[in-house]
């Protein structure tokens, strides 16, 4: 199963990537763990996860072709 992952702001800078394709993850917790193993620098950043443009606050099942965004805190005005 392929999941598209988009990284924004400081998260893209920390990983050197703005987009990834991740295979074999069933849910957002597994995805988070896999990303933290692959990119240990992410440990020091806070971010929320959005699945198909909806922010999720708990572990969420992922489906083939889903787009997941890692969103750092935003400041606005």
Other residues' Cβ atoms within 10 Å of the Cβ of residue 63? 11
Q: Is 46 domain-assigned?
A: yes
Number of domains in the chain: 1
- Segment 27-39, tens digit of pLDDT: 999 999 999 999 9
Integer Cα distance of 46 and 69 in angstroms = 13
CA–CA separation, 7 and 26 (whole Å): 19
Mean pLDDT score of the chain:
94
Is this structure's pTM higher than 0.85? yes
Residue 77 forms part of a structural domain: no
Between the two ends of the chain, the Cα-to-Cα distance in Å is 39
Task: Please list the pLDDT of the chain residue by residue as tens digits (77 residues).
Answer: 899 999 999 999 999 999 999 999 999 999 999 999 999 999 999 999 999 999 999 999 999 999 999 999 876 54
CA distances (Å), 2 to each of 13, 63, 65, 72, in order?
A: 23, 8, 6, 23
Domain that holds residue 26: 2-71
3-state SS class at 51: strand
Residue 28 sits in a domain whose CATH number is 3.10.20.30
Tell whether 22 is covered by a domain: yes
Does residue 40 lie in a domain region? yes
In a domain, 36, yes or no: yes
């Amino acid at each position: 199963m392929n999941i598209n992952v988009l990284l924004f702001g400081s998260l893209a800078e920390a990983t050197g990537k703005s987009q990834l394709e991740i295979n074999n993850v069933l849910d957002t917790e597994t995805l988070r763990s896999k990303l933290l193993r692959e990119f240990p620098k992410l440990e020091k950043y806070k971010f929320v996860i959005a699945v198909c443009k909806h922010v999720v606050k708990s572990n969420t099942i992922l489906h083939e072709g889903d787009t997941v965004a890692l969103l750092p805190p935003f400041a606005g005005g």
